[in-house]
Each structure stands twice: as structure tokens, then as C-alpha cells.
Structure 1
Amino acid sequence: MQVGLHALGIGAGAQRPVIDAVAAAAESGGFATLWSGEHVVMVDSASSRYPYSADGRIAVPATADWIDPLVGLSFVAAATTTIGIGTGVLLLPEHNPVLVAKQAATLDSLSGGRLTLGVGVGWSREEFEALGVPFARRAARTEEYVAAMRTVWREDVASFTGEFVRFDSVRVNPKPVRSRTIPIVFGGNSDSALRRVAAHGDGWYGFNLDGVADVAERVGFLEARCREAGRDIAGLRLAVALRDPQVGDLEILADLGVDEVVIVDGPPADPGRAAEWVEGLADRWLPVARAVRGRTPGGPAAASRG
């Protein structure tokens, strides 16, 4: 069991001194991944429903700083040497996929192969409208963009023809560090999101789940969809963030086959207090995670995943 930290990119976590301090402390403390999410546009009054809260509203105020995750994670990578970095999540259908492929491969190369590209289909109609991107069929657009990006990474001279993107005989360098690919994990907790994971993903980033029972139900659904797709869920990376996580959840989540529990929190605005804040989180979560990682797996899901 690993523990990640989703703490950078918003508010105080968008400030360079805080990014540097949190990143260095998280790496030295033993966290597995630093995650950062995305919204290009926020609005003061949204009609779109936020899918990760009971009241349908996002907790982040529209006035908060929210930096671009790939740019922000490049600063994280520069301040560290070993910790993983991940977008949690980048709203892929809002972007040009060839440009994202270039940016992601650049960050992966400069970080020494530490990038996980978490992507989602998006939920804010207002955001899509502001960017001039159709809100309809955004899931199909996302799936095609993923295929196009993998083609760009894999091929020296790449061509692709689809409904939403096409290019012919182009070279896009650099290539990703690990066998010309970057792990792509899909965000989202819905049935359609998990079908997308089973069909196209290298993993799943479940966000703001209600608790271990919710995770168990979702993992079971994903496992069934993987079987239908002829895939083994053991080949997927499963990272989940709970709405109210407890240290006692880690053993249960490990037995369910979860690889990484992601703690979602905001750092202090004072960079001088950031290391102490990270150390407090590490003291609470990491000893339990190490103990769980070191024990003999007790559940069937964990056993199937090795």
C-alpha cells in the first residue's frame, strides 16, 4: 500500500515557495505521488452539477488560484528527484491531444519517467463553452484523444485518423522514458468512467469516494468490466481518495486491491510551515501503510494482484 498526496495546484498550493517546500518534504517523508488537478475556467454561479459532492457543488471558490497542472508539476519535478507526479485529473477533451502528448512527454522526460497522466472527461458545461469545445460526446473525444497520444508516443513517424483528430506522418519528440509510453489513469466514479478504465486505461483514480464500502462496490464493478474486456484488473493501478479517510481503512483497501490511497488536503499558506504539515501527514499515514505493505495479503483481491 502506498500513500499519495493531492495538495498542490490550488490556493496556497499554487504558490512557488509552498510547492517547493511541500514537494521536498513529501519526497523525503516517503509519499508515493504528488497529484494536481485542473480546471481552466471557474464560474461564480454554475448550473453544472459537480459529481464528487453530495450537494453537487465544488468546494474550491471560483476566485482561488488554480494553476495548470503540467506547468505546476514541472516545478514539483524540478524540486525533487524520485517522487511520482500525477495529474489528478487533466480534462483531456478540452485540449489538443497532440499538444498534450508533447507536453506530457516533455515532463516525463525531464522528470526521469515519473509522470502518471490522469485524465477525465470533465463535468462543467460552462468550462467547455468558454473554451469553444463541444460538451456533447466529450467521452468519445477523450477515448480517441488517448489513442492518438499513444500513437504519437509510440511511433517515430505517426499518423492517425479519427472522428475528432487526424494527422499524417508527423514526428513528435521527445518520447516518454518508459518504453515510449506514459501510464494513463482515468478519473471518475460512474459506471461509464469505470467502463472506460477497463477498455482503455492503465489505471483508475477514484476521487472523493464515500468510504471503503463505496470503494469495494466500485472495484467489484471494475473487475467485472475488466473480465468482459478480456483484461485482468491486477494489471491496473488503482488509486483512490476518500472523502473522510481513516488510517484503519488502509488494510481494507489493500485487501480490495487498491495500490495507492491519496490524501486530499490543502497546505498552509506559510511555506515555513509546509514541511511540518507534510511531516504530520506522514506520521499519521505512512507507518500504517508500511505495515500493510509488509504483511501477508489477507483478501482475495489483494492475492490476485500479487
Structure 2
Amino acid sequence: MKVGIAMFPADFAIRPDELARAVEERGFESLFLPEHTHLPAGERTRREVGELPPHFSHTHDLFVALTYAAAATSELKVATGICLVPQRDPLTTAKAVASLDVLSGGRVLFGVGAGWISEELENHGTEPSRRWAVLAERVKAMREIWGNEVAEFHGEHVDFGPVRSWPKPRQSPHPPVLVGGSGPRVARRVLDFGDEWMPHAGMPLDELSGRIAELRRAGRAVGRAHVPVTVFGAEPDPAGLEGLREVGVDRVVLYAPPADGAEVKGFLDSVAPLVERFRG
């Protein structure tokens, strides 16, 4: 089972390049960075989600931060965890993902999700109730762009001509698409437009085990021999991680605190023994 690290790339925390070097030096497989373009400052969002920590509104741009991380490392996988696709244009995002994959030598994992802060979505022109439909079409459109010399897409939420767009991703046919979420329709979404499932930690182990088995049965029925599963935000508890490995989880991602270099490296040192324990 692979072990990765996630951290909000806040402007007051360790730099993404320094973080990535520290993560790679300790043997972790991947570095996942979340994103928020902004945090709405009005009363409505405070009523709906409460007071969120400062790192929600202080994050560096996702792809700028990941580029710094990729440039500072040689083997570490650099991952969006998650990219809020309903808040992004699919043409520009497809180019950003492909460019990062080429420049990193094929080290990108593309984690995607629909978002959860209603006003943030609305500020990007997305109706919150339609966010999953928008996500699905935008990812499908990006897959068309990555996989074709001339691409076009015609849907309810995405509609464009024949287009040419380079570079194409280094990975073939494109970086793995990790679909976030734990709702009742997530397995269908993974098989519809994704490659892997990335639920957040916290689901009871029995339920997770059953849902993994169900997803993989459905995958085999459509010719997918093995659908990988990444548990995001897992606790660094060896017994809990062993339980995740036993039910078929392929990767766990541990959250590092968005803090200065000394604190983050201290955290990484404390959890680094888990890499060797769960390797293979």
C-alpha cells in the first residue's frame, strides 16, 4: 500500500518546493495539494460552513504550486487533491494538467471533486445543485482533448467546436483521474469518467470494504480488471492503516499541517516509518 502526503499550500506555510523535497526524501510516494480559489467573506457562507481556518483562503494557485513541487523532485508523484473542476474552465485546465504531466516526466495524479462551498461555486458561475453534472462533462471533455489530435465536445454544460490543443500528457492515455466523494452514485461516476476512487477517510471499515468490493465487481463487468482506491486524509495510526490495507485500499494520504518548515518536517519524520511498514 502506497503512502502519500497532503497539505494545504498556504502562503504562510512551508513552500511547495521545500515541502516536496522533504516528502520525497522520506520516501513517500506522492504529494497531494488541495485548492480553493477564494473563500466568500459574507454572512451566508459563515452560516453554511462556519468559520474555516485561514489556509482555505490563503492557498497558492494549485498548478503553480504543483509545478514548483515537480521541479524540485525527480520521482515524487504530484497530485491534485482535489481539483475543483466545476470552478475551472475545461480547456485551460486540460492544458495545465497536460503541461504539468509533460514537464514532470509523467508524474501527475489528477484528483477531482465537485466542491462543497455553495457561494464559492456560484462565484464561478456554477449552480451548486448541478456541480456533479458539470464535473462529469468537464472531465469527459478534458479526456477528449488529451486523447485526440482534433477534439470536440457537445454537452449540456460543455460545448465546443473542433479544437487542437497541445501538449498531450506524457502518461498514456492521460494521468489517472481520481474521483473524490463518498455518495451513493460515486461508483457510477468512477466508472463513467474516472480511473480510481478517492473517498475521504472516516467511513466505517465494514462499509468501505463492501463499497470497494461492489465497485470492483462493477468494474470487472465492464472490463476494468482492478479499480484502485485511495483513502484521503487517513489517520497515521498503524492499526487503522492495516485495516485499510486488508480491505483492499491501494494508497493512503496523510494530512500534514499547513505550517512552517520545522513543524511540517517534524510531522513527516514522525510518520515516515509508515512508508516502509506498508510498502508492497
The TM-score with structure 2 as length reference comes to 0.89
Once residues 99 and 125 of structure 1 are traced to their aligned partners in structure 2, the CA distance between those partners, rounded to angstroms, is 23
Answer with 238-247 or 122-131: which moved more.
238-247
Structure 2: which amino acid aligns with 1:35? F
1:96 equivalent in alignment to 2:89: yes
Relative distance call for 1:89 and 1:242 in structure 2 (3 A) is closer
Report the AA paired with residue 2 of structure 2: Q
Shift of 1:171: 1.0
- 2:274 aligned with 1:281, yes or no? no
Using the size of structure 1 for normalisation, the TM-score is: 0.82
Given the superposition, is the C-alpha separation of residues 247 and 49 from structure 1 closer, same or farther in structure 2, using an over 3 Å criterion? farther
1:149 to 142, 145, 148: 142
Could you say what secondary structure the match of 1:149 adopts?
A: helix
- Contact 2:138 2:158 (8 Å CA) reproduced: yes
Residue 126 of structure 2 is aligned to residue 129 of structure 1: no
Q: Using the TM superposition, give the Cα deviation of residue 243 of structure 1 relative to its aligned residue in structure 2, in angstroms.
A: 5.3
Closer/same/farther in 2, CA of residues 194 and 39 from structure 1, 3 Å limit: farther
The match for 1:239 is 230
User: Secondary structure, in 3 states, of the residue corresponding to 2:199?
Assistant: strand
Alpha-carbon deviations, 1:168-202, whole Å to 9, x = none? 22110001001241211111111122321132210
The AA in structure 2 aligned to 1:26 is V
Pick aligned residue for 1:251 from 242, 252, 255 = 242
* CA-to-aligned-CA distance 1:187-227 (integer Å, 9 cap, x gap): 11111223211322100111132453443243244335435
Q: 1:289 to 1:126 in 2, by over 3 A?
A: same
Residues 65-74 or 106-115, more deviating = 65-74
Q: 1:12 to 1:179 in 2, by over 3 A?
A: same
Assess, with a 3 A threshold, how the Cα gap between structure 1 residues 139 and 231 changes in structure 2: closer, same or farther.
farther
Deviation at 1:61, TM superposition (A): 3.6
Deviation at 1:78, TM superposition (A): 0.9
Whether the 8 Å CA contact 1:86–1:116 is kept in 2: the answer is yes
Q: 1:118 and 1:58, CA in 2 relative to 1: closer, same or farther beyond 3 A?
A: farther
Q: Which residue of 1 aligns with 2:222?
A: 230
1:110 to 103, 114, 137: 103
1:30-69 alignment, distance < 5 Å? 30-44=27-41, 45=43, 46=45, 60-61=53-54, 64-69=57-62
Shift in Å at residue 245 of structure 1? 4.2
1:26 aligned partner: 23
Q: Which runs of 5+ in 2 are unaligned?
A: none
CA distance in 1, matches of 2:87, 2:175: 19
1:2 aligns with 2:7: no
Which stretches of structure 1, 4 residues or more, deviate above 4 A after TM superposition?
47-50
Does the aligned pair in 1 maintain the 2:70–2:78 contact within 8 Å?
yes
Structure 1 CA distance, aligned partners of 2:181 and 2:107? 22
Count of aligned residue pairs for this structure pair: 278
Query: What is the CA–CA distance in structure 1 between the aligned matches of 2:214 and 2:126, rounded to whole Å?
Result: 31
Q: Is the 8 A contact 1:211 1:242 kept in 2?
A: no
* Unaligned 5+ runs, structure 1: 51-56, 294-306
Q: Is the 8 A contact 1:211 1:244 kept in 2?
A: no
Establish whether residue 186 from structure 1 lines up as the match of residue 179 from structure 2.
Answer: yes
Cross-structure match for 1:297 = none
Q: Distance in 2 between matches of 1:145 and 1:81?
A: 30
Alpha carbons 1:159, 1:167 under 8 Å: kept: yes
The whole-number CA distance in structure 2 between the counterparts of 1:58 and 1:2 is 33
- Percent identity over the alignment is 34
Q: Conserved in 2, the CA contact under 8 Å of 1:30 and 1:282?
A: yes
Partner SS for 2:112: strand
Contact between 1:3 and 1:33, CA under 8 Å: does it hold in 2?
Answer: yes
2:130 partner letter: R
Give, in whole Å, the separation in 2 of the partners of 1:248 and 1:63: 31
